[in-house]
Amino acid sequence: MKKIVLLLVVGFCAGYWLAGKAVAQGNPAEKKLKSPLTREYIYPRRIVWQQGQVSGAEQLLKEGIGQASLNNSNVVILKAAEKGTASILLDFGREMNGALEIITGMWPGSNSPRQVHIRFGESVSEAMAELGAHGSTNDHAIRDFNLLIPWLGKVQTGESGFRFVRIDLQDVNAEVHLKEVRVIATYRDIPYLGSFKSSSERLNKIWQVGAYTVHQNMQDYLWDGIKRDRLVWVGDLHPEVSTVNTVFGFNEVVPRSLDLARNTTPLPGWMSGISTYSMWWIIIQRDWYMHYGDLGYLKQQKDYLQGLLKQIAGKVVDGREQMDGNRFLDWPSSKDSVAVHAGLQAMTIWSLESGADLCAILGDAATEKQCRETAAEMRKVVPPHNNSKQAAALLSLVGMMDPGKAYSDVLSVGGAKNFSTFYGYYMLEAMAKAGKYREAMNIIKEYWGGMLDLGATTFWEDFNIDWMKNAARIDELVPAGKVDVHATYGDYCYVGHRHSFCHGWASGPTVWLSEYVLGLKVVEPGGNVFRLEPHLGDLSFAEGTLPTKLGVIRVKHVKDKTGKVITTVRAPKGIRILR
């Protein structure tokens, strides 16, 4: 009898153990949705500002263990009297996508939760602003809110894009004990396979910041902004995907995002309501095939691609584009209808010819023929550029404007003036087509370097070189008499603090420096053949790497005493280098 009872007990316990194991592991038959993202704890780098009764603030700069403890030592105490509050502003060192986690201690008098006011900021100015002031908003991500924090516990917020965090104790005649305040940064833990190093530390930094900006936006999908917009905008994707190819190589976030845009835009709709954004989708598909030659993936696009190309061709009358939907290149050019028409004419040709290349690969001779014939008719009509750098760049890139004339008459005028963060990439490309490599590097150092001079750790949605005048840095409280860049500037949908300071479409210099200074560019479909043609300008050396589907190309260029460039290159087996 005892033996039977023992067996029953053992069986009962084993059943519980197996059930617990099944719960822990999940049902193998069920589909598991696993995140491709990782989490990293980031602690504050400095205390920017504090007011009221705050004691021991420097403790928050120390790395902790993330656990509340009955040993209530080394806590930061915020006390609020009946009139007034206690506040602290933290700098986490760089912009990132993530949530805030607060670990608390034991405050006296009551173990009830306390209410604090949290404000995230891409700049100090944004973190210090009241909601609604200077465009401060909770659009897309909640970044200004009240939060209950527990006594002797921990709590996490939702995610946004930020670098600075302000915490205000809201309760009066109360105090809170903060043991730790840290960011839970969320990102894809992937290696930077591409690299760039030269004799210009400024260019090196710009390359790295462009790469980091896109890396932050490689979340579940490839977003254009980690604060605003946390969305897949296909126009933004073109420079972003180019950066992914340059820095990270193949990553599933790209086809995942391209497929989302396709699946959520049934024809005859335009992606994001913008005709050029559907054109960018075609151009990106061609670029993607050039790098990786995935015919299976391209075949999945065939039906949609055919329909979209016919739709675009159907909007051309007598060789002139007549696109409906939102007629848009980028924000700074959006009010210039003449320039927008010229840009749309060029974009339509670019997309039709890219689509024709894809149709040839897919064996669709009829659609290929329609695309090439329509593009040929369009080339007979060259609209005026209206002195727009956006329009002149596009016309030059598709061969409808002499590159030297595009540079001398439009692109060079005013230097970095009238450059833009998105189309600045294509302006640089057009300058390279005109052979103006040194001049393009100077623009990169002035324009994108200007954001770094103001304290940026990621590149912005928009930037005007004139904003540099009397501007305060974004990582400091704005001194009297200085201009608050984040609060003061911006336009269209990004006025003031709504302005995104981490926008992937601004990463163009990263791609440009690898393509024209290192001199590496894929030149045949499939990603097996690359051209090597470096242009060092004033640099004494440049070296770096470029990922391919078969491994990493390594290249180094050094000028000798006569100015001749000596090049060494190593490529993976199966990769051919043309020189």
In the numeric block, the tokens 């911006």 are attached to 490
Cβ contact 95:457 at 8 Å: yes
Residue 472 lies in a domain: no
Same domain (yes/no): 258, 336: yes
Same domain (yes/no): 346, 241: yes
pLDDT band at 515 (very low <50, low <70, confident <90, very high): very high
Q: Which residues contact 336 (CB under 8 A, 6 or more apart)?
A: 386, 388, 391
Tell me which of 187, 217, 244 is where a domain ends.
187
Higher pLDDT, 301 or 16: 301
Same domain (yes/no): 331, 351: yes
Same domain (yes/no): 126, 243: no
pLDDT above 60: residue 24: no
Segment (H or E) for 11: helix 2-25
What does the pLDDT read at residue 3? 45
Is 297 in a helix, a strand, or coil?
A: helix
Residue 473 lies in a domain: no
Is 302 in a helix, a strand, or coil?
A: helix
Per-residue pLDDT, averaged over 333-356, amounts to: 98
Cβ contact 61:47 at 8 Å: yes
pLDDT above 60: residue 269: yes
Number of separate helices (H) and strands (E) present in the chain: 16, 19
Tell me which of 187, 205, 227 is where a domain ends.
187
Total count of residues recorded for the chain: 579
Residue 526 lies in a domain: yes
Same domain (yes/no): 276, 383: yes
Q: For CA atoms 303, 234, 342, 327, give the dihedral sign.
A: positive
Among the listed residues 416, 393, 419, 417, the one whose alpha carbon sits nearest the alpha carbon of residue 406? 393
Residue 410 lies in a domain: yes
Distance CA 368, CA 359 (A): 5
Q: Read off the pLDDT of residues 172-211 as tens digits, 9 standing for 90 and up.
A: 999 999 999 999 999 999 999 999 999 999 999 999 999 9
Per DSSP (E only), the strands in 105-159 are 114-121, 144-149, 154-156
Residue 448 lies in a domain: yes
Residue 225 lies in a domain: yes
Strand partners, 77: 55, 177
Return the CATH number at 118: 2.60.120.260
Among 11-15, 44-48, 438-442, 462-466, name the one with the lowest average pLDDT: 11-15
Q: Is 532 left (phi over 0), alpha (psi -120 to 50) or beta?
A: beta
What does the pLDDT read at residue 25? 54
Radius of gyration of the chain (CA): 27
What single letter denotes the amino acid at residue 6? L
Residue 490 lies in a domain: no
Convert 355-412 into a string of H (helix), E (strand) and C (coil). Answer: HHHHHHHHCCHHHHHHHHHHHHHHCCCCCCCCCCHHHHHHHHHCCCCCHHHHHHHHHC
Residue 373 lies in a domain: yes
Cβ contact 158:12 at 8 Å: no
Distance CA 228, CA 399 (A): 35
Q: For CA atoms 430, 390, 499, 505, give the dihedral sign.
A: negative
Domain that holds residue 165: 38-187
Return the CATH number at 361: 1.50.10.10
Strand partners, 99: 184
pLDDT above 80: residue 30: no
What does the pLDDT read at residue 28? 58
Distance CA 441, CA 443 (A): 5
Peptide bond preceding 229: is omega within 30 degrees of 0, i.e. cis? yes
Distance CA 230, CA 500 (A): 10
Q: Read off the pLDDT of residues 201-247 as tens digits, 9 standing for 90 and up.
A: 999 999 999 999 999 999 999 999 999 999 999 999 999 999 999 99
What does the pLDDT read at residue 83? 77
Same domain (yes/no): 406, 290: yes
Same domain (yes/no): 162, 282: no
Segment (H or E) for 348: helix 337-362
Q: Read off the pLDDT of residues 150-177 as tens digits, 9 standing for 90 and up.
A: 999 999 999 999 999 999 999 999 999 9
* pTM score: 0.94
Same domain (yes/no): 62, 93: yes
What does the pLDDT read at residue 82? 78
Q: Read off the pLDDT of residues 385-399 as tens digits, 9 standing for 90 and up.
A: 999 999 999 999 999
Q: Read off the pLDDT of residues 291-343 as tens digits, 9 standing for 90 and up.
A: 999 999 999 999 999 999 999 999 999 999 999 999 999 999 999 999 999 99
Distance CA 274, CA 296 (A): 28
Is 332 in a helix, a strand, or coil?
A: helix
- Output phi, psi for 60, to 5 deg: -70, -15
Same domain (yes/no): 99, 244: no
In whole numbers, what is the pLDDT of the chain averaged over residues?
A: 95
Same domain (yes/no): 524, 377: yes
Tell me which of 168, 187, 206 is where a domain ends.
187
Same domain (yes/no): 141, 205: no
Strand partners, 47: 90
Distance CA 469, CA 485 (A): 10
Strand partners, 162: 96
What does the pLDDT read at residue 4? 41
pLDDT band at 547 (very low <50, low <70, confident <90, very high): very high
Same domain (yes/no): 214, 355: yes
Among the listed residues 154, 89, 200, the one whose alpha carbon sits nearest the alpha carbon of residue 544? 200
Q: Which residues contact 574 (CB under 8 A, 6 or more apart)?
A: 528, 550
Number of separate domains in the chain: 2
